[in-house]
Every structure is written in C-alpha cells, then in structure tokens.
Chains A and B, each alone.
Chain A
Amino acid sequence: MTDADRGHHNESNTLRSASLAGTPAAAIFVVSLLAALGAAGAVYGLGDLIGLGVAVAIGVAGAGVAAFAAGKPPASPDAKANALLEAVSAEDAPAEPSSRFRGEPWASLYRRAAGYAEAQRSATIAVQEVERLRSELEKKVGAPASFEPRPSHADHELVGGDANDRSVESAESVESAEAARVRDAVQEAITPIGQGLTMIESELEPLLRSLQAAVTNPETAANGHPAKMVDALVRTAADGIEDLAAGLMRANELAIVAERVTNRATLLALNAALEATRSGSEAFASIAEETRRLAEYAREATDTISRLSSEIEMKVGETIGSIQSSSEDAKAAVDSIRTGGASSRAVAPETLQALESLLGRVRALRERAEAAVSPPSSAAAETSSPYSSSVAGDSPTLHDPEPAPAFVTLDASPTDESAVADDSVSTPAWNADAAAPVSVSDDSHESFGSRSIEDSSTSAHAESAPPAEPESTPSSDVSTEPPAVVPVESPAEPKIPDWLEGIGPRDRR
C-alpha cells in the first residue's frame, strides 16, 4: 500500500462516525407509508377495514416505487473514499474535485490525495529516469553502477503522530531520496559540459586579450606576431633565392665540366686517329674508332646535361621570380598592416564585441553548470527546494538529521586529505584550479564525477548508509575495500538546478 492510499484510508476512517445512521431508501419508504396511511384515513375513514387495507397496499406500492426511484442503495463513506482514491489515481485526474466530491471534507481530502498521487507518479518517473541513466552509465564504464534502493526514512521511522502527517512525511522522504538520485545522475551528465565550457572559456580569454591589445595598440599588433611571420617568410624566401642561385651555378659548373670532359675525349679521339693515320696501323685505327665513339657518347651526354641545365635554369628563374613576387607582396602586406592601423581599428571593435559577448555567454553557462553540480548551502536549500520548506518544521527528524559522516575513499595523500577537510564539497571538479584538487581515483573522468556523486548522495542516505558499504561507483578506488576512509561533513540538502526546479514533482504538470 502506498502512502497516498494509507492517507486515504485514514481520512475515510475519520469520516465514518459522522455518517448517517439509516439509508435514504428506508427513510423514503417510511415517509411514503405514513403518507399512504394518512391518505387512506382521509378518504375512507379509520373505521373501514377495507379502506385501511387499500391504504396499506398503496403505501407498500409507494414505498416500493420510492425505493426503485432512489435507485441503488446509497454508497457508504468507505466506498466514496475508494472512489476518491480511484479518481485521484487516474493519470489525467483533475486538480479540483468533481461534483461528487465538492462538499467538505471531501473536497479538501480530494486535493490532498491528488497531491500525493501526483508526488507518487513523479517519484515513479524519477526512478525510471535514474534506472535509464544507470544503464547508460553501465554501458559507458562497462561495470554495473550501484544504484541500490536506499533505506527510506518512511520505512522505519513512521511511529507516533498523526497518520496523515506520517503519510506526508513518507511521501516527502521518498521524493527527496529519488530527487537526490536524479540530481546525482544529472550532475554526472552536466559535469562534462562544465568541463567543455571551462576549456572554451580558457581558449577565448587569451584571444580576447590579444584582440583588445590589437585594438588599443595597433602599432604593437602590427609589429607583433603576424608581421614577424611575414618578415620571417620574406627572409626565408630570400634565403631560398640564394640557395637556388647557388644551385643554378652548380648546375652550370656541371655543364662546363661535362663540356670539358667531352672536349678532352674528342681530343683524345683525334690524337688516336692522327696516330692511326700516320702509322697506318689497324690496331691504332680500332683504338681510334673506340675513342671516337667514346667522344660521341660524351658529347651526347654533355648535350643532355646542357639541356637539363638549361631547363633547371629556366625553372629556377621562374621560381625565383615567383618567390620575389611573393616576397614583394608580403612586404607590401606588412607595410599595409603597419600603415593601415585605421582600418584595423575600424573592424576590430566589432569582432571584439562579438567575442566578449560569446565569452560572457560561455561564462554564464559555466556558472549555471557549476551551480547545478555544486551542493547548495542550507539557506539555498530552504529557498530552492519546493518541498523541504513545508515539511522541515513538521518533522525535524527527517530533514534535520544528526550530521552523519559521508564516506569518501581517497588516495592516501596528505594534500588530498587536507583538501577534503578544508574544502567542503562545493567546488566542482572541473574548476579545481580555483580550489584544492580532490583526487578520488586515478581515472580523471571518474574522479571528476565521483566527488559530486559521493557528496550529493550523502544527503539521501547519510543516516542509514553503513560505513562498510559506501556507495559503489564505477571507480575502482572508490569501490574497493576500506583503505583510507575519511569522513566528510555532508551538506544539508543538494541544491536543485534552476532548470530542474521548473519540473519539480509538484509543478511538473
């Protein structure tokens, strides 16, 4: 039986003593019988026995007709209470009671029961959402995430007091626990977004500063990085031109050497032919012939080398020309940058303004993400929680428990311990550069989210969570055996993100 059902039954019990003693059909029957007797006495007189019998018959018939006209027997208070429960349990149950429950106390009872039913439906949706997130988390980390049902205050602390109040407290407690679990899952989803926003902000800030410097001092900007790059490009081009010229000279020298070799070979062939001619020796003649072929081969090779050298020279000349042209363009660009500060100043402010706006939006998003992940202060919890304020005063045992320790397994590092002791858990992990880092595990991703999960979860089960079984997370360090267990003071109530407040259990519709 749910808390809402329990509340409805209590309401019906209180109304049972105040209900009518007889049924409407019996009253109608008695009235009809008396009316028939009166009518018969008036018509036939009291002494006429036949008239009396007719009057009795008419009275019995009238009572039967009256009973038939009254329809089915009137419902009891329990039946009406059950009908009320069925009405409010419907998915599309209206917030205001129907005509059947207009009167008091049914109207107020209907409203309260409708609220409880809505809270129950919201809790069911929250549990389904958490299960979905847990399944996604399991898919990501490859290990089952522990989202075991946590002990609820309503299961063992509903002793004494009014039954209706206990029902309210039970429902509120369930809502709080489920909402905390939903927030834990939401924090896990928001944390990477916050990381990304922080990175974007860190990239935008230097760019904005450089643009601001360029706007305020364009001369400095002109002599800065781009101008240096262009100058370096020009110098590189000049060096390239020198290298190409040197290479071209070497190519020409190669052609000259080849020409000289060819001339020597030709001269050798001529001398051999001279000797062969003068001596008339066939041996000399063959040598002279081979030498001549060698000279011809050398000549062909020299021609090829000369042609290649000419082509290289032409291409090198074209390259040098293009490099010189590019260098001149680059120099002109540098000069325009140095002398054209006005145009730069005319364009840069617009870009600067857009960049500033973008950076502001990124900062706002990051702050919202931080607020969504950071556990709230007690004052914030009082003002932001849609249900804690109404119940806190009624049942201090539920929302003002003894400050039970939350157990966070940490690496055995003194700095980490001191960080945990000094810093209460309000700083998101991605903004850890502003606060002492908290190392929960070796895995950066897990350590990022584990801290928030642990801290927020303490608000939901701080009273009942056994120290020996801390809530297991995908992180191996957190889920392993005891080691360094450092108690951390848990916050009173995690702050609900702004966007989550709008879809709270009672305002979802």
Chain B
Amino acid sequence: MDQVPLLKSVLATRALVTFSVAGSRYAAPVEEVAGLLDADRLSALPNRTAPVAGVVAFRGVVVPVLDLAAALGVEESHAPAAYAIVLERGTDRFALLVRGMPRLVPAREAQLREQPATPAEPTGAPTVHAIYEIDGREVRSLDYWSLMDSIAPPAAFRLSGVGGR
C-alpha cells in the first residue's frame, strides 16, 4: 500500500475499535469494521489450519474467522468471552477472533505516536500501520488484510465456497 493513502486513512479515521490480544492492545479503524459478533455463533471448519478458527454468518454471508492470537504466534493467558470483529474492505470480509469486549475509541482520544511503518519485512511479520496512545497505553494498528492473505488467500475461500472473499 502506498504511504500517502495509508497516512490519509490513518489521519482520516474517526474512531478506533480497540481490542486486546495476549495482553497487548490492538486497534482497527472504524471505517474497516463492519460489525461485532459474539463468538458463540462461530462454526468450526473441518481440516482447518491453526490460525483460521472457523466461519461465522454475518448479514447473510459466511465470513472466515482468523484467530489473531494464533496468527500472531502468541498464547492467550485466559480466554474470556470471545468476539468476532468483522473487517470489510469493498466486498471482501473476514473476522478477527479476539478475547475480551472490544472498545470504540474516538480518534480524538487516540494520540498518534509514530509515523506509519513501512511495509512489512520479508519475514512475514504483520505490518503495523500506526501506533496510538490511548489512556496511556500503546495501541497498534496492524495490516490485518495482508496477514489474512498470507494465511488464507482469497482464492482458497472462493474454491471452498466461503463467501466474503
């Protein structure tokens, strides 16, 4: 992604959906969040790979769910109620499985700490779009789309019949 549109999107966001994974705070711009679901509606998939938790029906479409903790290679200390944050870009949708209730934080309450990071290193680590400081804590905004593409390309979902991608 080009740096300028990325910077514009970061600066233009009106709010952030923040959530916690393994003790670290992460965020997603509200413009890319289509909705929040309870994870009890999650349906597991046979022969699924580790980061993909399953699928969930959202507004009539089956959406793949990515276990963010598993995708980031971290271990959740405890697993309270799980929620699925549905991300939407155009017609593509997928969901992030997170623990703990997400929060909606207005952009005015989030202080941008650094310039958006450069595109991801070839090691495959997730790209950090921005780092915010909310209530004195660091909150990272990642490139979840590329993370999802690296794990489950859209073509695979199309072949399997899963919509949204």
Does any Cβ of B come within 8 Å of A264's Cβ? yes
Pairwise interchain contact A273-B104, C-beta atoms closer than 8 A? yes
A352 within 8 A of B: no
Q: Which residues of B are found within 8 Å of A270, using beta-carbon distances?
A: 17, 36, 101-104
Q: Given the known inter-chain contacts A267-B38, A271-B35, please indicate yes or no for A277 contacting B15, CB distance below 8 A.
A: yes
Is residue A266 contacting chain B, with contact meaning CB distance below 8 A? Answer: yes
Rounded to whole Å, the gap between the CB of A271 and the closest CB of chain B is: 5
Most-contacted residue by chain B among A267, A271, A277 (CB, 10 A):
A277
Q: Which residue of B lies closest to A288 (CB)?
A: B104
Question: Is A65 located at the chain interface by the 8 A CB criterion?
Answer: no
Asked if residues B30 and A263 are in contact (CB atoms below 8 Å), the reply is no
Give the interface size bracket for B toward A.
10 to 19
- Pair A274/B35 contact, Cβ less than 8 Å: yes
Majority-rule SS of B interface residues: strand
Query: What total of A-B pairs shows CB separation below 8 Å?
Result: 33
**B103 contacts across to A, CB distance below 8 A:** 270
Query: Is A278's CB within 8 Å of the partner chain B?
Result: yes
Q: Categorize the interface residue count of chain A.
A: 10 to 19
Q: Report which residue of A260, A267, A274 has the largest number of chain B beta carbons within 10 angstroms of its beta carbon.
A: A274
CB contact between B104 and one of A260, A263, A264, A277 (< 8 Å): that residue: A277
* Bound complex: CA A270 to CA B28 (Å): 14
Task: Across the A-B interface, give the 10 residue pairs with the lowest CB-CB distance, nearest first.
Answer: A277-B15, A273-B104, A277-B30, A270-B36, A267-B36, A271-B36, A271-B35, A277-B14, A270-B104, A263-B81
Question: Within the complex, what minimum Cβ distance (angstroms) separates B156 from chain A?
Answer: 28
Is B33 at the interface (CB under 8 A from chain A)?
yes
Cβ of B38 and Cβ of A274 under 8 Å apart? no
Q: Which of B15, B30, B33, B83 contacts A267 (CB 8 A)?
A: B83
Task: Mark out the residues of chain A between 255 and 275 whose CB falls within 8 Å of any chain B CB in the assembled complex.
Answer: 260, 263-264, 266-267, 270-271, 273-274
B83 near A274: Cβ-Cβ < 8 Å: no
Scan residues 95-119 of chain A and give those whose CB is less than 8 A from a CB of chain B. Answer: none
Task: Say yes or no for B133: interface residue by CB 8 A criterion.
Answer: no
B138 on the A face (CB < 8 A):
no
Question: Given A274-B17, A274-B30: A266 and B35 within 8 A (CB)?
Answer: no
Asked if B143 is at the interface (CB within 8 A of a chain A CB), the reply is: no
Q: Whole-angstrom distance between the alpha carbons of A357 and B37 in the complex?
A: 87
Contact (A263, B36) CB under 8 Å given A270-B102, A277-B14: no
Q: Which residue of B lies closest to A280 (CB)?
A: B14
On chain A, the residues within 8 Å of B17 by CB distance are 270, 274
On chain B, the residues within 8 Å of A264 by CB distance are: 38
CB A440 to nearest CB in B, in angstroms, measures 86
140-162 of chain A: CB within 8 A of chain B: none
Which residue in A260, A274, A277, A278 is a CB contact (below 8 Å) of B36?
A274
A-contact bits for B37-51, CB 8 A (1 contact / 0 none): 110000000000000
Complex Cα spacing A264 to B81, Å: 11
CA of A264 to CA of B40 in the docked complex: distance in angstroms?
Answer: 11
- Output the least CB separation between A266 and chain B (Å): 6
Q: How far is the CA of A271 from the CA of B37 in the complex (A)?
A: 9
Is there an interface contact between B104 and A274, defined as CB atoms closer than 8 Å?
Answer: yes
A267 surroundings in chain B (CB, below 8 A): 36-38, 83, 101
Question: Which chain A residues (445-470) contact chain B, with CB distance < 8 Å?
Answer: none
